[in-house]
Amino acid sequence: MTIRMLIAAGAALAATGTVVPALAGESLDAVRERGSLICGVNTGLSGFSAPDSEGVWAGLDVDVCKAVAAAILGDGEAVEFIPSTAQQRFTMLQSGEIDVLSRNTTWTLTRDTALGLNFAGVTFYDGQGFMVPAELGVTSALELDGATVCVQPGTTTELNLADYFRANEMEFDAVVIESFEEVNAAYFAGRCDVYTTDASGLASVRATTAPNPADHVILPEIISKEPLGPVVRHGDDEFLDIVKWVVFALIEAEEKGITQANLDEMLESTDPAVQRLLGVTEGMGEALGLSESWAYDAIAAVGNYGEIFDRNVGPETALGLERGVNDLWTRGGLMYAMPAR
């Protein structure tokens, strides 16, 4: 055998022989049989997941579920949304009541291990902040010694709050309320001096729930890292792979300039990476146990990551968030898709 023949044989193997057909895991089978994805969301956090007056869910976390449903079933509307409080969410996933949790949930070590769950990526890099009534005249979190703080249980928020005050030798009284509606009502009724949660959550609560948003100030300190993303159960690698690669596909679509509007033109692209992602070159779908149009269908349903961000939480929305660290790595942010090949 010549060296040339060896290289050719190796290339052929790399192209075909190494692909092990994906075994359909339990979750994928269940979603297919049911004809819909059951997605756990929150009870109504505008920008991330909230129902409108007709009960139609919208938000960044909602779009992630729609993208997964589109990739599996070819239909982004084939999703049933189940609301959960912070405290209920992990039990719902562990018990099989939901297939995937997409609910501003922070990726932490214990959730990813001891709780029997797997995080499938990061769809929003966040951090915890504080909001106070402007009339208090507070300008820094370090002035909050002795404050009463409204917080929801079962959150990283509650834990970071205690860490931050202890580290800075400050005292606080927590007002711990499970229901989101009630914790908001308590803060706006003046039952606590401070509201703490993820900075995106503060922006959402201030823009959509405050009687007058200008009456509330979000303090400059960000006291934690809150990488938020979709979660699945341990023990179903195929389903984990699917959710993970759908998230990457949405990011890669933005990296490659593929949008909901130009998707069909992009089928003509001569870029091999675009051809692979959109299934023009076959193989990625088969590797995931899905149809070759999985990424095409996901992007057709909700657009690329940047479109999802802008539509739900970006500068033109009520939340008015900048891309910041959620921008693509090529523009100085953290969003980076692993290569689809």
Ligand X SMILES: N[C@@H](CCC(=O)N[C@@H](CS)C(=O)NCC(=O)O)C(=O)O
Minimum Å distance from CB 155 to ligand X?
Answer: 3
Minimum Å distance from CB 183 to ligand X?
Answer: 8
User: Of 62, 14, 28, 54, which Cα lies nearest the Cα of 288?
Assistant: 28
* Choice between 69 and 101, CB closer to ligand X: 101
Alpha carbon 315 to chain centroid, angstroms: 18
Q: Which residues bind ligand X (CB under 6 A)?
A: 42-45, 85-86, 104-106, 152, 155-157, 180, 197-198, 201, 226, 228
Which single residue brings its beta carbon nearest to ligand X?
Answer: 201
Minimum Å distance from CB 118 to ligand X?
Answer: 15
Minimum Å distance from CB 2 to ligand X?
Answer: 58
* Choice between 89 and 276, CB closer to ligand X: 89
The total of other beta-carbon atoms located within 10 Å of residue 268's CB is 9
Minimum Å distance from CB 107 to ligand X?
Answer: 9
What number of residues does the chain have?
Answer: 341
* Choice between 125 and 245, CB closer to ligand X: 125
Minimum Å distance from CB 286 to ligand X?
Answer: 35
* Choice between 229 and 279, CB closer to ligand X: 229
* Choice between 111 and 256, CB closer to ligand X: 111
* Choice between 64 and 86, CB closer to ligand X: 86
Question: Radius of gyration of the chain from Cα atoms?
Answer: 22
| Residue 289 φ then ψ, to 5° | 80, 25
